[in-house]
């Protein structure tokens, strides 16, 4: 019986803690090539690709992965996305919307928060390595982003918090950083990363500069997946107008939330890859800063603009995706225990009797001596055997 229980526990833990349960990015030095139904490559990414993940290419074609073979993910074309419908509102449309919505204070700039979940990420040609624990070249890219935003009138808050090691639980650690940044009521939050693909995937000449392109990553697992998706499409629509070719595309990961449930304008950016120079990444993120005022509309934070839907950005948001998985662990343990009782007794009635016997006798035997000891050691307890 004990062996059966151990087997059930191992099975449950093995399922939940398998490599695919929490993995967001590849750590084996490889990358995925997403191909269409004719076998033509349409997208490259260092993210862990699963069936059901989607991507939007630079030319705004949307694909969904239906099969994975080694490092190749096969995807079918969903359709061509018309980004005109995601263009940030302006002009007469904005004036009309202003009559229907509560007024918010207009400002020359706003607050933008920047942080780095993977503190070690670096650029090999410049930094000499792809990883520097706690001091990655990615911080320099964040500095360039902050400086570019400041020239446009924004108050850029660049967190220097470290979240090492570079594993998938880093998102749980950086979640605390995001919650701290939210206290300053930013209009937008950016988690700056770099990808892990060949240099030519991100290398480009945009607006007369040799730069590294930017990829947007949307976590579809969280409660705000659709809201963040629309926000990403708005960003790409604005970028395509101001700096065509700057945004490499958008990766829609169905299995992650990346703390995007905490703010309606939270975005994960991949700026170049480890194979690109840090200088080209800094130039790319500086161009991306040109897009931010267009998307945010230079609107100062208000209750709705900051918090989004009810509870977003507050404790009411609840646990992250990884924390929710712990709930699944507990649930599976309960199911496994019930299955063990059923198999070891042969029926629900016998299983119930076994459970009742365990709770009544085992717990009583365990707690009885402790309770008796407490009564003996408590001088205030009355001793009925010695009446006064």
Per-residue pLDDT tens over the stretch 300-348: 333 333 333 333 333 344 455 554 554 545 555 555 555 555 555 555 5
Asked if residue 250 belongs to a domain, the reply is: yes
Structure confidence by residue, pLDDT tens digits, 170-209: 999 999 999 999 999 999 999 999 999 999 999 999 999 9
Terminal alpha carbon distance of the chain? 54
Same domain, 321 and 336: yes
Residues 150 and 293 in one domain: yes
Residue numbers of the domain that contains 359? 351-376
Does 3 share its domain with 59?
Answer: no
Better-predicted residue by pLDDT, 105 or 342: 342
**Joined tokens for residue 289:** 């800063």
Same domain membership, residue 194 and residue 230: yes
Q: What's the pLDDT score for residue 25?
A: 73
Both 270 and 339 in one domain: the answer is: no
- Helix residue ranges per DSSP H, the chain: 2-16, 19-22, 91-100, 124-127, 138-150, 170-182, 225-242, 278-289, 292-296, 303-307, 321-345, 348-357, 363-377
Do 253 and 223 fall into the same domain? yes
Residue 3 maps to a domain: yes
In this structure, the answer to whether residues 57 and 160 fall within a common structural domain is no
CA distance 207 to 214: 14
Both 174 and 71 in a single domain?
no
113: in domain: yes
Among all chains, which residue has been given the structure tokens 């209750």? 303
Residue 317 CB neighbours (<10 A): 22
For the chain, what is the domain count?
4
Confidence at residue 223, expressed as pLDDT on a 0 to 100 scale: 81
Answer yes or no: do 43 and 26 share one domain. no
In a domain, 256, yes or no: yes
At residue 113 the predicted structure's pLDDT band, cuts being 50, 70 and 90, is very high
User: Which one has a higher pLDDT value, 300 or 366?
Assistant: 366
Q: Are residues 339 and 206 in the same domain?
A: no
Q: Looking at the structure, do residues 197 and 301 belong to the same domain, yes or no?
A: yes
Residue 89 inside a domain? The answer is no
Lowest mean pLDDT among 137-141, 218-222, 237-241, 315-319: 315-319
Using alpha carbons, list the distances in angstroms from residue 247 to 114, 236, 240, 272, 284.
19, 7, 7, 10, 9
Confidence category of residue 7, pLDDT binned at 50, 70, 90: very low
């Amino acid at each position: 019986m004990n062996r059966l229980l151990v087997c059930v526990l191992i099975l449950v833990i093995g399922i939940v803690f398998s490599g695919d349960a929490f993995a967001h990015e590849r750590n084996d030095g490889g990358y995925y090539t997403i191909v269409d139904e004719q076998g033509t490559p349409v997208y490259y990414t260092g993210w862990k690709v699963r069936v059901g993940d989607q991507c939007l290419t630079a030319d705004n074609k949307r694909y969904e992965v239906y099969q994975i073979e080694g490092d190749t993910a096969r995807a079918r074309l969903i359709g061509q996305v018309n980004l005109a419908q995601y263009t940030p509102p302006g002009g007469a449309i904005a004036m009309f919307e202003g009559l229907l919505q509560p007024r918010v204070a207009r400002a020359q700039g706003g607050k933008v928060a920047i942080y780095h979940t993977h503190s070690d990420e670096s650029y090999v040609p410049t930094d000499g390595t792809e990883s520097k624990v706690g001091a990655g070249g990615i911080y320099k890219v964040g500095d360039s982003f902050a400086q570019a935003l400041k020239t446009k009138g924004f108050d850029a808050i660049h967190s220097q918090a470290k979240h090492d090691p570079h594993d998938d639980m880093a998102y749980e650690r950086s979640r605390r950083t995001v919650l701290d940044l939210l206290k300053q009521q930013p209009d937008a939050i950016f988690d700056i990363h770099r990808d892990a693909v060949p240099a030519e995937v991100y290398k480009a000449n945009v607006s007369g500069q040799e730069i590294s392109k930017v990829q947007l990553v949307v976590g579809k697992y969280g409660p705000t997946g659709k809201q963040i998706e629309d926000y990403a499409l708005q960003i790409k629509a604005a970028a395509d107008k101001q700096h065509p070719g700057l945004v490499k595309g958008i990766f829609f990961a169905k299995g992650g939330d990346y703390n995007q449930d905490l703010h309606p304008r939270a975005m994960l950016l991949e700026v170049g890859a480890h194979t690109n120079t840090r200088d080209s990444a800094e130039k790319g993120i500086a161009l991306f800063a040109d897009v931010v005022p267009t998307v945010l509309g230079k609107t100062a934070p208000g209750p709705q603009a900051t918090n989004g839907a009810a509870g977003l950005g507050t404790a009411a948001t609840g646990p992250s995706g990884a924390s929710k998985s712990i709930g699944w662990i507990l649930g599976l343990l309960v199911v496994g225990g019930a299955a063990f009782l059923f198999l070891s007794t042969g029926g629900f009635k016998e299983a119930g009797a076994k459970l009742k016997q365990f709770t009544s006798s085992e717990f009583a035997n365990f707690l009885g001596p402790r309770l008796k000891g407490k009564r003996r050691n408590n001088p205030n307890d009355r001793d009925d055997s010695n009446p006064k």
